[in-house]
Amino acid sequence: MATKTKQKQGCLSVIFPFLGRKTTKTIFKASDYNSSNDSIPTVETIIPEALPYRVRDDFLSPAEFSFYKVLSSLGGTRIIIQSKVRLADIFFVSRPNENMTYFSRIAQKHLDFLVCDSVTMKPLLGIELDDSSHKRDDRQERDDFVEKIFQVAGLPLLRLPAQREYNTREIAAQIAPFLKDIVSAPVASPQPEINKQVNSVPLCPKCGIPMVLRTVAQGEHKGKQFYGCQNYPRCREMKPVTA
């Protein structure tokens, strides 16, 4: 009987190779080892069939890292600097059902640096460092498309040549015009002006699509109505309900 069982397993293992395979995973604690006698096991020792992923040592190039340090020193507490941000995480496609192909055009494209308001995390400025590769025809075509995206979305984009070292004063002078508003303006939570009666459905000023009548769920305006964009939360435009 045992022989027949083994034969069946052998036949099945030809069709389904994983049936006869044993996956072992040994968990080691660092406290089980001491620095004098034992060595901490490697990743391969702990997980024999580990996935082939490793942490990159060059997440930022020397030029990018040099620029990041200068930009960080100039930002203060009112900005947050994000690096290697996917364009699809910054922008969304208005009328997605009609413009499906436009998402794929930004899904694999990245921005070198994105400067955000540290209070609201609203994007304020995109920064691209152009090295010699940007002289290629394909890169120039890509750069032109990215610039049009920033322009139509109303987000500033600053292009700078990639360098080994950067002059702090020069960089400060170039980014200052884009950040002056958040430095001088007080932090406030905008409240929509809300009335009760409905007139006509307005268009979203950002997306150009009809807005949706919504009702405030909580707070001092609870129960009152306002118009919000259909693309919420990607678009947070609001309009009052006019009498």
One domain for residues 19 and 67: no
One domain for residues 194 and 102: no
CA distance 79 to 36: 46
Residue 8: pLDDT over 60: no
User: Could you please report the per-residue DSSP string of 153-208?
Assistant: HT--EEEEE--SS--HHHHHHHHHHHHHHHHHSPP--------S----PPBPTTT-
- Look at residue 14 in the predicted model and tell me its pLDDT: 53
Residues 6 or more apart from 18 whose CB is under 8 A from it?
A: none
One domain for residues 177 and 205: no
Residues 70-109 have pLDDT tens digits of: 998 887 788 999 999 999 999 999 888 888 899 999 999 9
One domain for residues 174 and 201: no
Residues 46-75 have pLDDT tens digits of: 555 789 888 988 899 999 999 999 998 887
Residues 106-138 have pLDDT tens digits of: 999 999 999 999 989 999 999 999 999 988 999
- Look at residue 17 in the predicted model and tell me its pLDDT: 55
- Look at residue 45 in the predicted model and tell me its pLDDT: 55
Is pLDDT larger for residue 242 or for residue 216? 216
What does pTM read for this prediction? 0.62
Residue 56 maps to a domain: no
One domain for residues 170 and 200: no
- Structural domain including 239 reads 190-243
Of 184, 201, 230, the residue that ends a domain is 184
One domain for residues 152 and 114: yes
* Number of independent structural domains in the chain: 3
Is pLDDT larger for residue 89 or for residue 180? 89
Where does the pLDDT of residue 208 fall: very low under 50, low under 70, confident under 90, or very high at 90 and above?
A: confident
- Look at residue 193 in the predicted model and tell me its pLDDT: 41
Mean pLDDT of the chain: 79
